[in-house]
Amino acid sequence: MRAVTDATDSVPEVRHRGFRPYPKYTESGVEWLGEIPEHWESKAVKRQFRVVNGSTPKSGAAENWDGDIPWVTPDDLGKMNDRVINEPSRHLTRKGYESCGTQMVRAGSLVLSTRAPIGHLGIAGTAVCTNQGCRSLVFRRLGDERYFYFQLHAARPVLEAAGRGSTFKELGSEDLQSTELAVPPLYEQRVIADFLDGETAKIDALLAKKERLIELLQEKRTALVTRAVTRGLDPNVPMKDSGVQWLDKIPAQWQLGPLKRISPEITVGVVVNPSTYVQTEGVPFLYGSDIREGRAVAATARRMSDEDSKSLSKSRLSAGDLVCVRVGAPGVTAVISPELEGANCASVLIVRHASTFDSQWLCYAMNSRIVRHQVELVQYGAAQEQFNVAHAVEFVVPLAPASEQREIAAFLDLRTTKLDALVTKIREAVDHLKEFRTTLISAAVTGKIDVRDAPDQATTQGGAL
């Protein structure tokens, strides 16, 4: 018999800003569940569900595809904005379905990605089948699919930890079936699901507002930068036609020319097998993923030996140089800071510094809509968009006099710092909300909080947030 303990002794920390624990708890014997309410059960997945595997018909056979049988993949689950699966990206014909080992599962079944990655989740809104990257959970006994959706969401770290394999991790059928879940009575499953539907909807609405505010602030930042680097800071300065359709007018004393006229050297980082130079120690070896607007992040950079960096002098960096992402997020540009003097880089565009321009000003110009528009016009590649050096040297830039360059850079440093600080603060709030959402779901589906009288307790509109 399982030992029953008093809730006030066993889970005093789980108050969650006004949500009460259950009166009595019992030890589940399952590490990730801990203690559960005494009237709940811990059950292996296989006791609650029948686990159904998926499969893929021959991809090169046209007669297998574009039928009317919904066929779900991990990619479909990862792109969902809702938890209900209605229209996956691909459908099978009857012949395609019968040619492989996939099986149809009824509406209301849970569909879980079990590799690449483990843990994407959805509820079948209609009868579906899946590929081998998913497993479906079909109810053996009555249960609320919403509750178990939330339960599996909370169990994702456990499922990921159970994955096996060297090339990629896969959650095997037996490991999935043996995973223990917390199972309250059916009526309570519905109460918990209703509660979480309401609370997560409030959190999601607040997240959407904050993320939209971040978008608006970023748009404001880009507009501010673009106006300053194309029109200057004096609203009364005489203007002239730029001669470029998408640029309109520029200050009369400014010039307009290609990037190759501004910088003495425009080149590219290590392109051929850059991974062969990666070491555990040495100087920073920047990839495109280490570059943000205005700054390169040394902390995330790979390393290269100083000897290799010196031998690869073409891509060795000096303070004041600019580096620009070519692949993945093309156009994002940063200035090399003094701490990155002597670093090296892989594949990114390098714009060498010269006394003829202010690096910070040119960085703002490169990140403005003017240059980004030109990047969009020339980028190519289906899997990952990119551009090459031959394109970059011809990018047109409005060239302000040196004194104005410094003034514009100083002005934008001040204004963008304030905007960036505000965005950072909002992002921290977003992270907090996401963390609270995850914690709330886990607490509700493992019985750490009692939501049966939730309307009388704190909500996310009050003390909970």
Which CATH number is 283's domain given?
3.90.220.20
In order of 36, 145, 288, the CA distances from 303 in angstroms are: 48, 48, 14
Domain residue limits at 114? 42-183
Each residue of 87-112: pLDDT tens digit? 999 999 999 999 998 999 999 999 99
Question: Helix/strand/coil (H, E, C) string of 373-385?
Answer: HHHHHHCECCCCC
Residue 240 lies in a domain: no
CB 15 within 8 A of CB 452: no
Residue 422 lies in a domain: no
Q: What kind and span of H or E run contains 418?
A: helix 402-445
Each residue of 268-303: pLDDT tens digit? 999 999 999 999 999 999 999 999 999 999 999 999
Say yes or no to pLDDT of 342 above 70: yes
User: Confidence band (pLDDT; 50, 70, 90) for 179?
Assistant: very high
CB 315 within 8 A of CB 345: yes
Sign of the Cα torsion 175, 143, 199, 87 reads positive
Question: Where a domain ends, among 129, 148, 183?
Answer: 183
Residue 218 lies in a domain: no
Residue 302 lies in a domain: yes
User: Confidence band (pLDDT; 50, 70, 90) for 385?
Assistant: confident
Distance between first and last Cα of the chain: 39
Say yes or no to pLDDT of 257 above 50: yes
More confident residue, 347 or 10: 347
Give me the pLDDT at residue 235, please.
Answer: 94
Q: Are residues 163 and 262 in the same domain?
A: no
Residue 352 lies in a domain: yes
Q: Are residues 363 and 270 in the same domain?
A: yes
Tell me the CB-side half-sphere exposure of residue 183, using CA atoms within 13 A: 18
Say yes or no to pLDDT of 446 above 90: yes
Q: Are residues 268 and 158 in the same domain?
A: no
Give 23-27 contacts, CB < 8 A, sequence gap 24+. 23/450, 25/447, 26/2, 27/2, 27/3
Q: Are residues 277 and 179 in the same domain?
A: no
Q: Are residues 387 and 276 in the same domain?
A: yes
Question: Where a domain ends, among 399, 416, 450?
Answer: 399
Residue 299 lies in a domain: yes
Q: CA 361, CA 410: separation in Å to the nearest integer?
A: 9
pLDDT over 90 percentage in the chain: 86
Each residue of 117-149: pLDDT tens digit? 999 999 999 999 999 999 999 999 999 999 999
User: Confidence band (pLDDT; 50, 70, 90) for 116?
Assistant: confident
Q: Are residues 261 and 178 in the same domain?
A: no
Q: Are residues 294 and 392 in the same domain?
A: yes
Q: Cβ contacts of residue 55 below 8 Å, gap of 6+?
A: 100, 101, 102, 131, 132
Residue 404 lies in a domain: no
| Averaged pLDDT score across all residues of the chain | 92
Sign of the Cα torsion 406, 412, 418, 421 reads negative
Q: Are residues 389 and 261 in the same domain?
A: yes
How many domains, the chain? Answer: 2
Residue 367 lies in a domain: yes
Give me the pLDDT at residue 454, please.
Answer: 74
The alpha helices in 64-185, defined as continuous H runs, are: 74-78, 94-98, 145-154, 156-161, 173-178
Q: CA 458, CA 191: separation in Å to the nearest integer?
A: 16
In order of 33, 49, 112, 296, the CA distances from 72 in angstroms are: 30, 19, 10, 39
Question: Where a domain ends, among 183, 205, 235?
Answer: 183
